[in-house]
Chain A
Amino acid sequence: MSDIILRTKNLGKHYKNRWAAQEIDLEVHRGDVFGFLGPNGAGKSTTIRMILSLITPTTGTVELFGHDLFKKREAALQNVGGIVEKPDFYLYLSAYRNMQIAGSLTLGKTPDDKKINDTLGIVGLAERSLDKVKTFSHGMKQRLGIAQALLCDPQLIMLDEPTNGLDPQGMKEVRELITRLTTERGITVFLSSHLLNEVEQVATRMAIINKGKMIVQGKVEDLLKANANKVLFNVEPVKRSMAVLEKIKKVSEIAQTDEGIVAKVDGKMIPAVVNELVKAKCKVFSVQPKHSLEEYFLDVTTES
């Protein structure tokens, strides 16, 4: 079997007068934590809905584990679990019953008690398994959503904004859970989010989508290399500092921004550059690396 477990080609969805998603070519490799990034309304959920067969695409194909989703739907989705947007459940039933229903749809038979309880234990809901879901907080529903996605030992889980509405502690727990799933259980995670910090912390590969079109795709470290060596100088006075930096040979691409001065500098050169600034009686308040995912994301989405 190919190392690529999810592949979309020219995937698109057209509504009456607009493309919600267009020409989406994704490749998710086994073992990836694949970050799927985009601003709100970029087409992330539409893409996920097409991959999980909730929406019929206007164009393109989806291949999961080597099976064409539209020709061999059952085989294609056999090893996939997911949450699409907010997890919704049968509120009048217990968490346990909801898990039984979700599991029986995948397995063709009701999953055994131990399996359900073990899976609820992973997300910390074992003790609340018999409570009706309508009594659950949003965070608990999110965790139950992850539990139902994990129930039938999927090899790929698709998580659409899994930390939406969670408090910082809840977000941290979900991030840790995602890391555990990949490292301990070898599960490939497709993580859609508009929270860049979240993706930056866990993703190995990523794609960025904007206005329905995919802009870029690749390994996170490779994509961020493009922005490597960029440094933000928070200095005063700005004009004099700019003049000093321009005189230093190994400093290039100097630009003034709202935050301060951004320039390309080799990391080893930073102490020497700071020394020059201080010598010129410039006040150096901070020097920060500028190769975060946020910077990269803003760069590519603004360009597009």
Chain B
Amino acid sequence: MLNLIYWELFKTYAKWRTYIGFIAVGVLIPVIMWIMWVEGGKFIQHQLRSLQSEFLITGNLFNGWVIAQLIMNGLWVHVPTLIALVAGDQLSGEATSGTFRLTLIRPVSRTRILNAKYIATLIYTASLVIAIAFTSVGLGLWIFGTGDLIAFDKDGITILPEYDLYIRFLFAYALAIWSMFVVASLAFFISSFVENAIGPIITTMTVIVIFLIISNLPVESVEGIKPWLFTTHMNVWQQAFRDPYDWEKIRTSVLALGANSLFFWAITLFIFRRKDILS
């Protein structure tokens, strides 16, 4: 199995499209950093205007942690596209190129081949989020220095002490990887029944956008289905910046996301094992 995973990873990382996500991250994050550096903290000052009228704030609040968190907030809706770009090509790409005729006539079960591809997809997903983590935190701390984190969310502002931030960011990125696994699983599932890579990318993003809209609709009639939509739980990483942690919410979201990923994997396996290779 390890050998299969190794070669699936080799194929994944030998393709040009795999690096589009890394290049996008490598270009976009420094650009955001540069804009922040040029703007010189106007954004933070704007956010803190009401707070400063009632509290005395000292220290470097416009620091690398804040920038990294802002980037995370800004990118988490866009990263799925970069993930779907690769995950949506894993099965459909082989169908298009005809290489299933090379691999599926071998004495290895389709289940093992699919699992190796799925694991390679998850590793790519994790590697992309880790790349975002290293680029945003690393560059952020290097350019803007360290300090406490002011975490903004819809409930208000939380100030988290600097000594606690390494573990919180680690936790946040781990949760982000977990939620992106659902996106990867969805794109992987869609790629199992089409024979071009564009279809899974567009369909995945369409599903995410529709689900996101439903998840955020303030309408009572959809409240019942919201907990079942993976998009409701995709921002679970934000829980890493709550103080104290809301473990109940984290547990629910982690389980819901895991169940979604498992569901998509299971039906992909069901389809793939029965798929006639006609291309």
Q: Which residues of A contact B (CB under 8 A)?
A: 49, 52-56, 73-78, 80, 82, 84-93, 97-98, 100-102, 104-106, 108-110, 148
**How far does the alpha carbon of A76 sit from the alpha carbon of B14 in the complex, in Å?**
32
Chain A residues with CB under 8 Å of B161's CB are none
A56-B274, A87-B101, A90-B11 given. 15 additional CB < 8 A pairs?
Answer: A49-B276, A49-B277, A55-B276, A73-B109, A88-B101, A89-B99, A92-B14, A101-B103, A102-B106, A104-B3, A104-B4, A105-B103, A105-B113, A106-B108, A148-B102
Q: Is B7 located at the chain interface by the 8 A CB criterion?
A: yes
Interface positions, chain B 101-122, Cβ under 8 Å from A, are: 101-109, 113
A55 to chain B: closest residue by CB: B276
Indicate the size class of the contact surface on chain B. 20 to 34
Chain A residues with CB under 8 Å of B97's CB are 88, 90-91
Question: In the complex the two chains form, is A77's CB within 8 Å of B107's CB?
Answer: yes
Chain A residues with CB under 8 Å of B102's CB are 87-89, 98, 101-102, 148
- Binary per-residue interface labels of chain B (180-207) against chain A in the complex, 1 for a CB within 8 Å, 0 otherwise: 0000000000000000000000000000
Contact among B3, B14, B105 with A54 in the assembled complex (CB-CB below 8 Å): B105
Chain A residues with CB under 8 Å of B247's CB are none
A102 to chain B: closest residue by CB: B102
- Binary per-residue interface labels of chain B (159-194) against chain A in the complex, 1 for a CB within 8 Å, 0 otherwise: 000000000000000000000000000000000000
- Binary per-residue interface labels of chain B (135-178) against chain A in the complex, 1 for a CB within 8 Å, 0 otherwise: 00000000000000000000000000000000000000000000
User: Smallest distance from the beta carbon of B245 to chain A beta carbons, Å?
Assistant: 44
Question: In the complex the two chains form, is B4's CB within 8 Å of A105's CB?
Answer: yes
Question: In the complex the two chains form, is A78's CB within 8 Å of B7's CB?
Answer: no
A91 to chain B: closest residue by CB: B97
| 23 pairs of residues in contact across A and B, judged by CB atoms under 8 Å | A49-B277, A49-B278, A55-B277, A56-B276, A74-B107, A74-B108, A76-B107, A84-B101, A87-B102, A88-B98, A90-B11, A92-B15, A92-B16, A93-B11, A97-B10, A101-B7, A101-B103, A104-B4, A105-B4, A105-B106, A105-B108, A106-B108, A108-B3
Q: Which residues of B contact A (CB under 8 A)?
A: 3-4, 7, 10-11, 14-16, 97-109, 113, 274, 276-278
Chain A residues with CB under 8 Å of B274's CB are 56
Question: In the complex the two chains form, is B3's CB within 8 Å of A110's CB?
Answer: yes
User: Smallest distance from the beta carbon of A80 to chain B beta carbons, Å?
Assistant: 7
Chain A residues with CB under 8 Å of B99's CB are 88-90
A78 to chain B: closest residue by CB: B107
Question: In the complex the two chains form, is A53's CB within 8 Å of B11's CB?
Answer: no
**How far does the alpha carbon of A92 sit from the alpha carbon of B99 in the complex, in Å?**
12
List the 3 shortest-distance A-B pairs measured between CB atoms, nearest first.
A88-B98, A105-B106, A77-B107
